[in-house]
Amino acid sequence: MRIISPPPLKVGDTVGIVAPARKISLDEVNPAVAMLESWGLKVVLGKNLFNEYHQFAGNDLMRATDFQDMIDSPEIKAILCARGGYGTVRILEHVNFNQLQFNPKWIVGYSDITVLHSYLNMWFNIETIHGTMPINFPKDLVGNESTESLRRVLFGDNPTYFSEPLAINQQGAGVGRLTGGNLSVLCSLSGSDADIYTDGRILVLEDLDEYLYHIDRMMMNLKRSGKLKHLAGLIVGGLSDMRDNLIPFGCNAEAIIHSIVREYDFPVCYGFPVGHQEPNLALIMGRKVSLTVNDKGGRLEFLDSD
């Protein structure tokens, strides 16, 4: 299976910003435009970017049209999703992604954009970037770890990341292609044509604003559907702003995941700097990676594309 890796950006290239899910304002996008231009890039905004339809950035066809325009434009070298929220899955049936196989370009985002990572990695073998989005770019235009890691990956860097040692980690080493993203979105795709394939893969999970029992229920879904059984490794990122019921679930989100995956012998790295947090390091989804977890912490190395 040949994996398609979009070419690295270079100074003078043009990138596009679209909103496939929740609505966004010009004030929220402007800092990203300024920072991208400071990287030497030209920025094109989707013509429907600031439309509104309830919580969405325009109706499904408007959002899909912007995405299609960016795919079809030979000038656009990367497509940055302005924000997540919910709604990306609603545009899949309205977008023809075939052109990306002949003119591949980076698709960037996280959270609800997990839909695109899963769909493009699975059906088109195209690498994508799970990384910070324009809504997250700092308003003072001072770069941070998240934006700097995104810049480096977009311009061709093959990074190596590290995380702190945690007692809950499961030590070991594994090699496989990176898959996953937002746990809630992944579970919502289960059984659909955008479902993930996990055998021999390194799975990354993160989530935000979920009830603890939801985390347990979703992890049990992954287990019962066989998606954990043959993993090469598991990376657990930010599990931010978790909620509990009046009657407590009894443990935190990391402990819930540990209780379900501890029976497996693949390496598990908790507290990895990715997700709804800072830093949210840029990950190349679909790229072969090496994950090592030992008493010094976690080490994730992105290997050369093939």
Please list the active-site residues. 111, 206, 276
Q: Which of 141, 146, 129 is nearest to 81 (CA)?
A: 129
Hunting for tokens 């924000």 — which residue is that? 83
> Do the strands 42-45 and 76-81 form a parallel or antiparallel pair, or are they unpaired?
unpaired
Q: Which of 25, 22, 42 is nearest to 33 (CA)?
A: 42
What sections of 176-261 are H helices per DSSP? 183-188, 212-224, 253-261
Distance, CA of 79 to CA of 10 (rounded, Å) = 15
H or E segment to which residue 60 belongs: helix 60-72
Distance, CA of 213 to CA of 249 (rounded, Å) = 7
**Cα angle value 193/195/198 (rounded, 5°):** 140
